[in-house]
Structure 1
Amino acid sequence: MDGAEEFTTQSSTVEDWTRALAESTGSPGGGAGTGLMLAIAASLTSMVAGYTEADAREHGELSRVRARARSLRQDALRLADQDASASRAFGAAFRLEPGPERDAAISRASIDAAKASAVLGRRAIVAIGDLAWLAANGNPALIADVVVAFGALRATVAGARTNVSFDLAALTSGGSTLEQIRDRHPDLWAIVDDLNDAFDRIDRLTAEIDHRAAPTDDLE
């Protein structure tokens, strides 16, 4: 789509942005979608915190949870747009004519794209703690919203983990082996394992509260 780069998560309507996402341009793509899911998780976290009343002992933590969620919502949209820019560069590199210049461009774009996704993944990992706090201390009437937020956060983790892994593997097109890539980029390699652990944590936390959010399951 011509002008697809103008449809940013920060300035577009949902209709315009999802229409751009539906086009075969790759920007926005799955990475930007990952950022949007993080923004949804943060927004729901803020909403639940806003509906929660806390005693004097917990009031300070509740305020911090909501403040972090509000900040994360804005950061996630910005990071989604940064990921879209990295995606454009990634696609452009693969369209170059075969040769050393193309190999170098793919390498640069792959690392930049992996870094963009890694940032989203790290922010998602940190956000798990605040959502877990609300699962235990938030307004019980909004427990279903907590589960939805966990689902959005899980989607963020899935997107970040897969994109980092895929982008690192793209470096093999220049002749590097996966072992060499792991040794050259240990921090990016390690974030994939961290995100796998985050998957498990989110699933455990969701399972612990699912009976409260979906009580009709008890009759099956």
Structure 2
Amino acid sequence: MTTQGSTVEEWTRALAESTGSPGGGAGTGLMLAVAASLTSMVAGYSDSEEDDGGEPARIRVRAQALRQEALRLADDDASASKAFGAAFRLEPGPERDEAIRQASLEAAASSAVLGERAIGAIDDLAWLAANGNRSLVADVVVAFGALRAAVAGARTNVSFDLGSLRSAGTSLGQVRRQHPALWAAVEKLNKAMDRIDALTADIDHRAAPTDAS
């Protein structure tokens, strides 16, 4: 079952099963694809004859490419999740420890790539929030919500996968020293969530003017 080759009904049915593949990581990729799709849609409605070939058109091209990449990354994460689960099912011993170490690092790296792509999508959505078709502000807010879910999912998965190295006898201090880029990715993704929250707050009054809060 792949994200790229399944219907929404088929894929979500597979996600609902207690298999772990697809799981939360693949769901993170799907949320990024949703954010990219909405970004493309809003960019298309924000183009005009005067802006033909301008920033909205460039945003749409990037968003359409990201949608396809996000689905591929979702499938990559599902494969990594499968290997991760298999490693923990091995009998205790050196072979299991090495399998956990390898699977944890591969899963963390896969989620970090997904998170990096999600961070890269923030600027285009921020541009549309400020300059896009104002009639589609609700769609922009929904896109921000999907993008935040992707960033949060990537952050949590990278952190969890790195923490799983403890099952192979590695302390968190050792993980931080041995894998500084993956460790730093967690904080980078935390900051990205804060930025998305701020951007959403800036336009939420336009998207939901009847909200009592």
TM-score (norm 1): 0.94
The number of aligned residues is 213
**Is 1:155 matched up with 2:149?**
yes
Unaligned runs of 5+ in 1: 1-6
> Where does 1:44-63 land on structure 2 (aligned, <5 Å)?
44-54=38-48, 56=50, 59-63=53-57
Pick closer, same or farther for the CA change 1:189–1:58 going to 2, 3 Å. Answer: farther
* Runs of at least 4 residues off by over 6 Å: none
Distance between the aligned counterparts of 2:55 and 2:44, measured in 1?
12
Is 1:111–2:105 an aligned residue pair? yes
Structure 2 counterpart of 1:4: none
The reply on whether 1:94 has 2:88 as its aligned counterpart is: yes
- Report the aligned-residue RMSD: 1.2
What are the equivalent positions in structure 2 for 1:138-217 lying under 5 Å apart? 138-217=132-211
Residue 59 of structure 1 and its aligned partner are, at CA, apart by 4.5
Distance in 2 of aligned mates of 1:17 and 1:57: 38
In structure 2, C-alpha distance between the alignment counterparts of 1:142 and 1:54, rounded to whole Å: 15
The residue type equivalent to 2:46 in the other structure is T
Q: What SS class does the counterpart of residue 10 from structure 1 fall into? A: coil
1:27 aligns with 2:28: no
Contact kept? 2:47, 2:57, Cα under 8 Å: no
Q: Identity across aligned pairs (percent)?
A: 74
Amino acid at match of 2:124: D
CA shift for structure 1 position 58 = 8.1
Is the contact made by 2:34 and 2:146 (CA closer than 8 Å) also made in structure 1? Answer: yes
Displacement after TM superposition at 1:56 (Å): 4.2
Give the structure-2-normalised TM-score. Answer: 0.97
Gaps of 5+ in 2: none
Preserved contact between residue 109 and residue 182 of structure 2 (Cα < 8 Å):
yes
Residue identity in the other structure for 1:167 = D
Task: Tell me how far apart the structure 2 counterparts of residues 204 and 40 of structure 1 sit (CA, whole Å).
Answer: 20
1:76 aligns with 2:96: no
User: 1:72, CA displacement in angstroms?
Assistant: 0.2
Q: Which amino acid aligns with 2:25?
A: G
Q: Find the counterpart in structure 1 of residue 124 from structure 2.
A: 130
